[in-house]
Structure 1
Amino acid sequence: MTPTLLVPGLLCSEEIFGPQLPVLWPRGPVMIASTLHGDTLAQMAAQILATAPPTFALAGVSMGGYLAFEILRQAPQRVSRLALICTSARPDTPEQSAGRRKMVAQARAVGFERFCALGADALTHPSRKGDPELNAISARMGLAVGMEGFARQTEAVIARPDSRALLSAIDVPTAIIVGESDPLTPAALSEEMAGLIPQARLTIAKDCGHVVTLERPAEVNAALAAWLDG
């Protein structure tokens, strides 16, 4: 069975994929990449590839999707399937970059532990605001990455290239998954990717924000199972 390589998002640890592991493990070995080292996406992707299996099904969430595109640039022959979760092929706008740097400055100003304690409320669907379980996971993940990791990941994301030119050349089965109300990478960006990747299958989870793997695990798990079994 082909291994699956999972790539967490910005300020995320392996917990972002916790609900998916029971579905993925019966379908083959699972590896969760480290995103804690490297100053650029290219460096991070190279380090991930250095310890990855020879070939693998690749799934990235948010920043992990940006890294998936970088892995495709560096070693397309090693990727047998691709899943892009709550992500985008587009680069940051100047306004988005400024917003990211403002968040880093806020984290330094209020203290990183307090910043992480704010939880996932800014990114989840309104129906999940104040969810203690989601906020606890978000806080743990943030502390696992750390303040300097957050700053480093943010700058790497800001500097990412435009990946839209890659999309039409992706020739592997591709799952694209997004929350219907994702405030960070709106569903229209996933629809754009699905229209340009030849073998793409799009799943839009209703009543869901950016943290789709935790907010709507049943929908994500069904989409990933179909992706691996197809």
Structure 2
Amino acid sequence: MGLPIVLITGQLLTDAVWQPLLDAWGDREVIVADNRSDDTIAGFATRLLDSAPPRFVLIGHAMGGFVAFEVMRRAPQRVAKLVLISTLASADGPAQTARRQGYIDLVQAGKFETVVEERIPILFPEARRGDERLLGIARQMAAETGAETFLAQQRAIMARENSRPRLGEIAVPTLVIWGEEDGITSRAHQEELVSLIDGSRLAVVPGAGHLVTLEAPEVVVPLVDAFLDA
């Protein structure tokens, strides 16, 4: 069975983003960490470490990667392997902060659905924006997350630390997965991760965007399985 796997979900996402992996892992112990009950990255990390097994494999997607960096800072001895998906290490700059504040203002004005619809083109590459199955999953995850949780997640992301200075301290096998058409994180962000995390490896998934686990499970599932079994 191997070590337990702890999954950290991104913003406005639910367990559904992991479904292809969960379906493939019927014989593994898998825990999906709570990404709704705090408004700081530190709070998310504390809750995860309080509830996680003594030693585990850690997989973080997007905002979940930010939490993973905090877990690695606090308890590196508890993490056996690390997978980072569609994430980045740097803190927000002025433009990103302004965009997030704009989202907060819209949600507080009762326009949560407007924000969700504005984000859809960012989540998916142009070729997939007509895929009603994927769009439906994204909208359903956002609806299940809700406006108040979205606001808390935005505040946590806006206040997060720059993780770049500590990446060199990560000393566990690390796999970085990125969809080549990701509209939120760039290839430069991924190359920075692998340049600063010793021994890490980047896997680029052609044609996929930010929700690469849903868009290309036929690529991602074997990638992660091979990494876990190595």
TM over 0.5: yes
Q: How do residues 41-80 of structure 1 correspond to structure 2 at under 5 angstroms?
A: 41-80=41-80
1:34-66 CA distance string (max 9 Å, x none): 111112100111011111111110000000000
How far did 1:17 drift?
0.6
- Deviation string 1:147-180 (CA, Å, 9 cap, x unpaired) is 1110110010011111112212211111100011
Q: Secondary structure at the match of 2:10?
A: coil
Question: TM (normalized to structure 2)?
Answer: 0.94
Instruction: Identify the residue that residue 13 of structure 2 maps to in structure 1.
Output: 12
- Tell whether 2:19 aligns with 1:36: no
Secondary structure, counterpart of 1:43 in structure 2: helix
Q: Which residue of 1 aligns with 2:217?
A: 217
CA distance in 2, matches of 1:107, 1:217: 32
Q: Which runs of 4+ in 1 moved over 4 A?
A: none
Which amino acid in 1 is paired with 2:150? F
Judge conservation of contact 2:176–2:194 (CA < 8 Å) in 1: yes
Q: CA separation in 1, counterparts of 2:224 and 2:39? A: 30
Gaps of 5+ in 2: none
Question: Which runs of 5 or more structure 1 residues have no equivalent in the other structure?
Answer: none
Moved more, 115-124 or 194-203: 115-124
1:119 and 1:134, CA in 2 relative to 1: closer, same or farther beyond 3 A? farther
Alignment of 1:177 with 2:169, yes or no, is no
Counterpart residue number, 1:151: 151
Secondary structure of the corresponding residue to residue 25 of structure 2:
helix
| Contact in 1 for aligned 2:122/2:184 (Cα 8 Å) | no
Partner of 1:160: 160
**What TM-score comes out, normalization by structure 1 length?**
0.94
Identical amino acids, percent of aligned pairs: 38
Tell me if the contact between 2:103 and 2:115 (Cα under 8 Å) persists in the aligned partners.
no
Q: Distance in 1 between matches of 2:108 and 2:127?
A: 29
Matched to 1:187, the amino acid is R
